[in-house]
Amino acid sequence: MSYIFKYTSETDIERMVQFSITDDTRPSSIQVAEIIKRVEKEIDARWLGWPDGGSYGQGYSISNLYIDVPSTYTEEEPSVLGETVEKVYIPYPIVKMNKLERRTSSIEDTPEWEELTEGYYSGWTEGDSDYMVIWTTGPDGQRYGIGWYFYSSKKPKAGRARLRASFTYSYLVPEYILKEYATLKASIQVLELAVASGEPTRLSVYTGGDFQEFVPRELSKIIASWQERLREIEEKHFPKARNPLSL
């Protein structure tokens, strides 16, 4: 199955760099496709978008993730045997819960799991529930979860692999932001390759006059402005690093 672009395309990049890309140009369509793939994989590695074959709002999937439950006690205040924990935070930005299980056996024994019932979610019919997702809001108003709050009788015990979770996750950065970001980032690499390939006539729109004199300076300005916009997008729209345990 061929790769399907998600956040940008060859046409978007052509509009940005203001020259055509074909199988015979340098960089070629094949080279540009590889650049786009790399940029999109970088975006996915930061959990900003959606899975291959999906669309905005769908998170990446993870199943049966074992989660340690940290003690709420400090070195000055030692934990107690059988300590239970009310809130557990994770580094993943939760979009939708599929399953959450609490380990009821000790770590030394054969695992025994109890599936917990989620409450207070969109479309929830009021009734029995064992936990709720702790939600937060991103810089563009998007909502994602950062952990779980457990009701008294279902609090997990502190310890290794006390929870097992399946869910989808993403920071849900708006689609139009990811499109601009991916297009800019890929276009910078395409421009740099075009200059390195020695095809000055394809870049004359930026220069006029003598290519040797103007291209390096003018393209440097263009690339610098695009890089500045990339930094601005990252600062305003991408998630900040956080320590879940400190929330």
Q: Band the pLDDT of 44: cuts 50, 70, 90.
A: very high
SS3 102: strand
DSSP 224-238: HHHHHHHHHHHHHHS
Range with top average pLDDT, 25-29, 76-80, 92-96: 92-96
pLDDT digits (tens, 9 = 90+) for 69-89: 988 765 555 455 568 899 999
Picking from 22-31, 63-72, 73-82, 166-175, which range would have the lowest pLDDT averaged per residue? 73-82
Q: Cis peptide before 27, with omega less than 30 degrees from 0?
A: yes
Tell me what pLDDT residue 207 has: 46
Q: Band the pLDDT of 245: cuts 50, 70, 90.
A: very low
Write out 143-207 in H/E/C secondary structure: EEEEEEEECHHHCCECEEEEEEEEEEECCCCCHHHHHHHHHHHHHHHHHHHHHHCCCHHHHHHHH
Tell me what pLDDT residue 49 has: 97
Tell me what pLDDT residue 153 has: 86
- Answer whether residue 244 shows pLDDT above 50: no
Tell me what pLDDT residue 5 has: 95
